[in-house]
Amino acid sequence: MQEQAERNAQKGLPPPALDKQQTSASTLHSRRSLYWVDKATDLPLHCEEYVETNGKWTIERRTDYFYNDPFPAHLFDPQDLLRRQAGTAHVRQSRINP
């Protein structure tokens, strides 16, 4: 866990928030998630999901979140989307009124 904390510090991620609620052993589950949250926006920046196997917690998934980044032009063309919707509407209309 210390190694992971050091890697996160190198990435510029803050340490995970500590759970202020005491959890008894009977309520523990075999999965855990840790979230790093931006204090200014209250939005998640990074998430790590762990699974317990043979009494040891191992990381199963890491997720980084990005906000307000522009879409690359090749991924989304609004004009192309409008053309597709117009073409689909014509096909639907012709099926309704042959």
Q: For the ranges 9-23, 40-54, 77-91, which has the lowest average pLDDT?
A: 9-23
pLDDT number for residue 26: 45
* Residue 9 dihedral angles phi and psi, to the nearest 5°: -65, -40
User: Mean pLDDT throughout 1-18?
Assistant: 63
pLDDT of 11: 66
Query: Is residue 90 domain-resident?
Result: no
Contact 68, 41 (CB under 8 A): no
Kindly state whether residue 62 falls inside one of the protein's structural domains. yes
Q: Is the pLDDT of residue 97 over 70?
A: no
Q: What is the pLDDT of residue 42?
A: 92
Residue 77 lies in a domain: no
Q: Which domain holds residue 8?
A: 2-69
Q: What is the pTM of this model?
A: 0.45
Angle at 7 between CA 2 and CA 54, to 5 degrees: 50
Question: Domains in the chain: how many in total?
Answer: 1
Mean pLDDT for the chain overall: 74
68 torsion bin: left (phi>0), alpha (psi -120 to 50), beta (else): left
